[in-house]
Amino acid sequence: MHNTRLRRMRPLLGTFVEISAEGASALTETAINAAFSAMEDIQRQMSFHDAASDLSRVNLYAWRAPVSVNPATFRVLSLARHVARKSGGLFDFSVGGRLVQTGRLPDHGFHSLGDEGWDALELLPRLRVHLKRPIVITLDGIAKGYAVDCAVQQMIAHGITQGMVNAGGDLRLFGAQTARIALREANGALASLGEWGNTAIATSAVGLSTEEQQRFPSCIVTPHACDGRACPHFNQCPHAWTVQAGETWRADALTKVAALAPAHERAQRIRELGGRLLRIST
């Protein structure tokens, strides 16, 4: 049975998700479909826009009584709390109310939009979540990174030996081969990040206005495979941070830490949290 390489793209997680896989020809299509299915499940469970999602139910009701959630939602909340604690609150998932107030996220009838603080989150036995006070949690990037990691796990479980998942600003590579990675800038030029394999890279434009984020959503590309018409452009600016780590959820979360950490200790903080702050070469 010979190997084949397939590439598929779908709109998902608020961006275009591209998955490529190399493996036995009979398995590759099945593996890619399983990877997309895993990402769709995570989108359903952790969508802020869906009032019936696990995340919305936590935001609406968990301050009154514990809410039972899916294992994946519980896992991502645990990871988010871990990074928040280890970063001294630089990574803060409790700012959803602020984003609702500015019109960037929908209001599902939350009790309060003013309370914040990651320490309000309590994770209880039997996959239950409680909030000490009515904060509004948003998982956006870390959930997307986790979805990318789950997609990779699905492909490996299906016998894929080489592959890539690229969800806009979140990229994961696995297998023996390496690939040249770049950021696509607003003018269409590619800013090289070097050659990588078996790693995760995330980029995030933090602190830009809503209009600027719509004009310049982040995008990591492999130059040989990028479709310029489907690929968002990346605005290389002082507000953009790119982090490499072993897992995509970690790399994405650490872009938020990089945005808020003091400049003189930014790289060290990222290292302590298991990542590496990348510099763009032009």
In a domain, 39, yes or no: no
**Residues 59, 117 share a domain:** yes
CB 193 within 8 A of CB 201: yes
Helix (H) or strand (E) holding 206: none
- In percent, the amount of the chain with pLDDT more than 70 equals 84
**Residues 168, 268 share a domain:** yes
Name 209's Cβ contacts closer than 8 Å, sequence gap at least 6.
none
CB 243 within 8 A of CB 266: no
In a domain, 147, yes or no: no
- Tell me how long the chain is: 282
**Residues 250, 189 share a domain:** yes
What is the CATH classification number for the domain harbouring 70? 1.10.3980.10
**Residues 174, 68 share a domain:** no
Taking CA atoms, 249 is separated from 80, 109, 206, 282, in Å, by 9, 29, 16, 27
**Residues 53, 8 share a domain:** no
Helix (H) or strand (E) holding 125: none
**Residues 272, 184 share a domain:** yes
**Residues 203, 250 share a domain:** yes
Structure-block tokens of residue 55: 């995340």
**Residues 249, 185 share a domain:** yes
In a domain, 254, yes or no: yes
Question: Tell me: the pLDDT tens digits for 232-248?
Answer: 333 344 457 899 999 99
Residue 86: is it exposed, middle or buried by C-beta count within 10 angstroms (0-12/13-18/19+)?
A: middle
Question: Tell me: the pLDDT tens digits for 3-22?
Answer: 788 999 999 998 999 999 99
- Tell me how many domains the chain contains: 2
pLDDT band, very low/low/confident/very high, at 228 (cuts 50, 70, 90): very low
Per the structure, the complete domain to which residue 130 belongs is given by 49-138
- Whether this prediction's pTM lies above 0.85 is answered by yes
In a domain, 234, yes or no: yes
In a domain, 168, yes or no: yes
